Structure 1
Amino acid sequence: MSGIDALPPLRDVITTHGLSAKKSLGQNFLLDLNLTAKIARQAGDLSGSDVLEVGPGPGGLTRGLLAEGARKVLAVEKDARCLPALAEIAAAYPGRLEVINADALSLDPLAHLTPPIRIVANLPYNVGTELLVRWLTPPEWPPVWSSLTLMFQREVAERIVARPGSKAYGRLAILAQWRCEARIVMQLPPEAFTPPPKVSSSVVHLTALETPKFEADQKVLERVVAAAFNQRRKMLRAALKGLAPDIEDRLLAAGLKPTARAEEIPLEGFCALARELKRS
């Protein structure tokens, strides 16, 4: 019996079902159920929410979410080897766990979830950033989810919360911080995982804002930020010259120095430039 429920410890589950982690699937299993329960608690009160979990593996975080009172967990798992272990969890928590054997990149989970929705996941390293970008750029805002509590490689987590002037500051920071409050809430060393990855991990909690912090057209803002950071060593007047023939005038109108570089510009400045380009 484990510390959080009547199910076996995860090491026993992995041995019983032959669940060696696959590098091709970006798998690193977190076996300490006290840690998985702690991650679940970082998502806040789950009792009135459905939770989407991507890549549950043998179900450590799944059990943490259910033990912490999630109304329902929808676990999307690509690796069919994990399904028997997840079925045992579903049997222990009747009616509260639905498991779908699918690739999260090609699945629309909304038909299986009822708002309010939180997303909590130890994301596979190879798809984590792509899923985050999708969740941050839905067709309409506010999104269907109220918060994201996600584990990433520490380097990716630091890019999400980075501030202007730092090397980590870039497109991901702008995208995340424009319409969310983002903060790192946990750090995990490699030895917490089986097998241990070569990097440390961090849990990031993002809370969706009702409206963006600054007015801007999403597509224009994305285009501006992409152009600026694709050539981050260049001055803005050079990096952004393809966006408008009079880009220097546009930069000045937005209150920005044409000689500044992308990493010096705060979120508000990028939004001001996006508004200026949209207007023109």
Structure 2
Amino acid sequence: MIDALPPLRDVIRTHDLRAKKSFGQNFLLDLNLTARIARAAGDLQGSDILEVGPGPGGLTRGLLAEGARKVLAIEKDHRCMAALAEIADAYPGRLQLIEGDALDVDPLAHLTPPVKVVANLPYNVGTELLIRWMTPAQWPPFWDSLTLMFQREVAERIVARPGSKAYGRLALMVQWRADARVVLHLPPEAFTPPPKVSSAVVHITRLTEPRFPADARVLERVVAAAFNQRRKMLRAALRGLHPRIEELLEQAGIAPTARAEEISLERFCALARALAAEVQTR
């Protein structure tokens, strides 16, 4: 059925869909690549899919062709709606379109579990959306997996390990509650217009429980303080968290003279537990 729809370049020409910087748009027009991204999300049959920023619908077509039960596509650019409506007509009852800002839409009102999120995210909101999806009020979240396109630098930060320059808050936030891996690299010339940076697709699978026990708010405070001054020793960077921070660092198995990028997720969680225990015993 996907072959019955016109090529994406024709769609863009017909609907005058020149990419706009204000929307963070870089269109992926190669349907072979969009199909690869759809397949990277795993078996889509029996799942509802949330797609943010579908643009002219290349990935949308891939998701539907790969058997998604339903796709909810949220698009901020009114110009794209007519092109997306043509896809909805080709896949009756399987594509729901919402014109609006994904930051303002509650997807759960429109989706039935199991849910997967698959999107070529607009660069200007990608990290914000990821953080929102990784920090819901209740865990596990509404989604089973996230398959998302980012700037390559952001993708590397998500999967980074201790000791690397990319390692920081984003890696810890994601890896505490999920498994993450880069599944596809894309050069600038794969897009229209070509961005100034390379891109990468990251596949994130949620865990039922966080990898190590910790209070989410305490862990975020610890990690934020540690990496806001990542060049400092932790005894200095974390001084504002507790008057006996050196003692708590040692209790968590962390050398007070270590720096944030050297510390594993497990040790950060141990420090968060030690801090939380201090508050409870006061």
Q: TM-score, normalised by structure 2?
A: 0.98
Q: Which residue of 2 aligns with 1:271?
A: 269
Q: Structure 2 matches for 1:106-255, cutoff 5 A?
A: 106-255=104-253
Pick one of 50, 70, 73 that aligns with 2:71: 73
Alignment size in residue pairs: 278
1:257 aligns with 2:255: yes
Determine the C-alpha separation between the residues in 2 that align with 1:272 and 1:123: 34
Q: Where has structure 1 moved over 3 Å in runs of 4 or more?
A: none
Residue type at the aligned position of 2:8 = L
Cα deviation digits, residues 82-141 of structure 1 (max 9, x gap)? 000000000000000000001001111111000000000000000000000000000111
Residue type at the aligned position of 1:179 = R
Determine the C-alpha separation between the residues in 2 that align with 1:242 and 1:223: 11
Q: Secondary structure at the match of 1:268?
A: helix
Residue type at the aligned position of 2:267 = G
Residue type at the aligned position of 1:28 = N
Cα deviation digits, residues 198-255 of structure 1 (max 9, x gap)? 0000000000000111000000000000000000000000000000011000101111
- Tell me by how many angstroms 1:45 deviates: 0.4
Contact 1:5 1:67 in 2 (8 A): no
Pick one of 98, 101, 104 that aligns with 1:103: 101
- Tell me by how many angstroms 1:186 deviates: 0.2
Unaligned runs of 5+ in 1: none
Residue type at the aligned position of 1:102 = G
Unaligned runs of 5+ in 2: none
Residue type at the aligned position of 2:142 = V
Contact 1:29 1:194 in 2 (8 A): yes
Determine the C-alpha separation between the residues in 1 that align with 2:107 and 2:159: 27
Cα deviation digits, residues 20-74 of structure 1 (max 9, x gap)? 0000110000000010011000000000100000000000000000000000000
Determine the C-alpha separation between the residues in 1 that align with 2:139 and 2:108: 15
Q: Which residue of 1 aligns with 2:24?
A: 26
Q: Secondary structure at the match of 2:241?
A: coil
Q: Structure 2 matches for 1:25-64, cutoff 5 A?
A: 25-64=23-62
TM-align CA RMSD: 0.7
Determine the C-alpha separation between the residues in 2 that align with 1:119 and 1:244: 39
Q: Secondary structure at the match of 1:177?
A: helix
Residue type at the aligned position of 1:186 = L
Q: TM-score, normalised by structure 1?
A: 0.99
Q: Secondary structure at the match of 2:174?
A: helix
Percent identity between matched residues is 78
1:5 aligns with 2:6: no
Contact 1:33 1:61 in 2 (8 A): yes
